[in-house]
Structure 1
């Protein structure tokens, strides 16, 4: 809320409501998707390049810098919705991905009003109506549902769905007429109003 300064104590303070700002984060070591929903809706991809032969110091510095890049964009959200790690995933750089997730979460907790984690299955179901949809199915559904948002890749699509979930839970959905199969995805989201 923005309050206008009032030098005269007899003058009433005017409170101007502002739009709820929601940020969706699809974290990645190479291409993090970030979506912001508020007065406008925007998406972007933060790219980062690693090196298979990087030293521990180099890996730590990369995670630190990537975290700073992410939080400088996410800290402006009243609500930030972040995709949970895929716990079954054990491929390359799994440990570094987990480190990035926790660094971002730790940095955001004291800075935003609400930080919510959402499972990958919830993202898929909200986007497509099925929790086992492929990344390309999610992207196609996002492009159809939000034709005015220039979504360029799967990371941005996931981030936009995360932001849309946060907007709907905040009482300011960015889409109308969503089928119940999609809305049912929200039943398992841990949300504190």
Structure 2
């Protein structure tokens, strides 16, 4: 696989116009945080990478090593990451996590997409300001998904990021209104995977 190249946003094709690729698609969803990173693995299971303040910058190594293990074990075709908020005080801290995780993805040649929180919420709930409870309720309604030990909504967000990746590649995990699916056109997607899965290009 090539290093990710991002392309201009565009609307999703209706499901009946999508040609599904025969190979199984493996997507990993990542809601990155220095204290509690949510991970949705390609098999649909979710977990949190929890760190301790007293470990300081070594928390970055713990997150990096956990993601590295996931990439080696599950060999995802695509990673979908919640993008940094543009005007948040904590963005600088979270950016450190983005740096080490993106480095791992690049080393593993796993293309990655970036979705800002408002776009993810609009995709999941048709509301760009949906709270964690509403996101969790939408996941349950869409696929019966529930998340243990997820007060911050990290696993839920990661789950929706994985779902968004499947949807963008023409392999949706469940049905959503077309207007919500079209919100994914605002995200930054790796061009190679749009071509390979949605346009039916051979692998």
Contact 1:74 1:80 in 2 (8 A): no
Q: TM-score, normalised by structure 1?
A: 0.78
Counterpart selection for 2:50 from 47, 50, 58: 47
Structure having the larger proportion of residues in strand: 1
* Offset of residue 190 of structure 1: 2.3
SS of equivalent to 1:171: coil
SS of 1:117's equivalent? strand
Cross-structure match for 2:162: 163
Post-superposition Cα deviations, 1:88-110, rounded to whole Å, max 9, x if no partner, equal 2104xx53321111111122123
1:30 corresponds, among 17, 32, 35, to 35
Two-structure CA RMSD over aligned residues (Å) = 1.8
Mapped partners of 1:169, 1:65: distance in 2: 30
Partners of 1:43 and 1:150 within 8 A in 2 = no
Structure with more contact order per residue of length (Cα contacts < 8 Å, sep ≥ 6): 2
CA contact (8 A) 1:126 1:185 kept: yes
SS at match of 1:138: helix
Matching of residue 114 in structure 1 with residue 100 in structure 2: no
Paired positions, count: 165
Larger helix percent: 2
**Bigger mean CA offset, 118-127 vs 60-69:** 60-69
Structure 1 residue ranges without an equivalent (≥5)? 1-16, 52-57
**Contact in 2 for aligned 1:30/1:49 (Cα 8 Å):** yes
The structure whose Rg is larger is 1
Counterpart residue number, 1:3: none
